[in-house]
Amino acid sequence: MNPKRSNEPVFWLLFGAGGMLSAFLLPIIILIMIVWVPFFKVPDYEQIMFWSGSWLGRFIWLGIISLTAWHAFHRIFHLTQDFKLGHKKVFQSICYGLAGVVTVASATLVTLI
């Protein structure tokens, strides 16, 4: 008899990647915006758009936004299960569907801008 396959490892992979990205990059971004920008040379609009508008900058922003969304919605899904708020499949569809919508929306915005 074959064991039942689950899609849970895919979501745990996205959750772990989003958590790692959030833990490493978001404090750096916050530190730059709170310490570096006010006290040192402020980059002008052209510099920010140059780095954010390159293919590497767009890929980085897409990764930060989408993986952080997957991490957050995975946590929200497990929070609903811890509090026994409803049927597992309903909240799983809602949470992972919203994470997918955020990923598609951010990919669309990053490619259009």
The DSSP secondary structure of 5-68, one letter per residue, reads: P-SHHHHHHHHHHHHHHHHHHHHHHHHIIIIIHHHSPPP-HHHHHHHHHSHHHHHHHHHHHHHH
In CATH, what number is assigned to the domain containing residue 102? Answer: 1.20.1300.10
- 83 secondary structure, DSSP code: T
Range of the domain at 78: 8-112
- Whether residue 34 contacts residue 90, with contact meaning beta carbons closer than 8 Å, is answered with no
What's the confidence (pLDDT) of residue 37?
72
Q: Is residue 20's pLDDT more than 70?
A: yes
- Place 10 in a pLDDT band, splitting at 50, 70 and 90: confident
In a domain, 3, yes or no: no
Whole-structure pTM value: 0.78
List, for residues 56-106, the tens digit of each pLDDT value. Answer: 989 988 998 999 999 999 999 999 999 999 899 999 999 999 999 999 999
- Whether residue 81 contacts residue 88, with contact meaning beta carbons closer than 8 Å, is answered with yes
Reading the block at residue 19, the tokens are 């958590």
In a domain, 24, yes or no: yes
- Number of domain units in the chain: 1
Q: How far apart are the first and last CA of the chain?
A: 51
Count Cβ atoms below 10 Å from residue 109 Cβ, excluding itself: 13
In a domain, 1, yes or no: no
